[in-house]
Amino acid sequence: MNIEYFVFSGTGNTLMIARGIGSELVKKGNTVNYYMMERQRAFIPEEDSVIGLAFPIAFFSSYPLVLDFIDSLPEGNGCRIFMSATMGGMGMGVEGKIRKMIVARGYTPFGAELFLMPGNYNNKTMPAEKSEKNKKLIDVAMEKARLFGDSLNNGTAKWNSGVPVIPSVSQWFVRSGRALRFFYRTFPIEINNDKCIRCMRCIDNCPIGAIYRNSGSLFIRPELCQSCQRCVGFCPVHAIIVPGKPAEQYRAMDFEEFIK
pLDDT tens track for 162-179: 666 677 888 888 989 999
Least confident of 14-23, 76-85, 116-125: 116-125
Strands 49-56 and 2-7: what pairing? Answer: parallel
pLDDT band at 194 (very low <50, low <70, confident <90, very high): very high
pLDDT of the residue at 111: 97
pLDDT band at 89 (very low <50, low <70, confident <90, very high): confident
Q: Are 247 and 4 in contact (CB under 8 A)?
A: no
- Model-wide pTM > 0.85: yes
Mean pLDDT of the region 108-132: 79
Contacts of 129 (CB under 8 A, 6+ apart): 135
Q: How large a percentage of the chain has pLDDT more than 90? A: 72
Q: What's the one-letter identity of residue 57?
A: I
pLDDT of the residue at 154: 97
Residue 73 DSSP code: P
Mean pLDDT of the region 218-246: 92
- Residue 155 pLDDT exceeds 70: yes
Note the helical H segments in the chain: 13-27, 64-71, 94-104, 132-154, 165-175, 178-186, 201-205, 230-234, 255-259
Mean pLDDT of the region 13-28: 98
- Residue 128 pLDDT exceeds 60: no
Q: Are 250 and 126 in contact (CB under 8 A)?
A: yes
Comparing C-alpha atoms, which of 115, 49, 108, 40 is closest to residue 84?
115
Residue 107 DSSP code: P
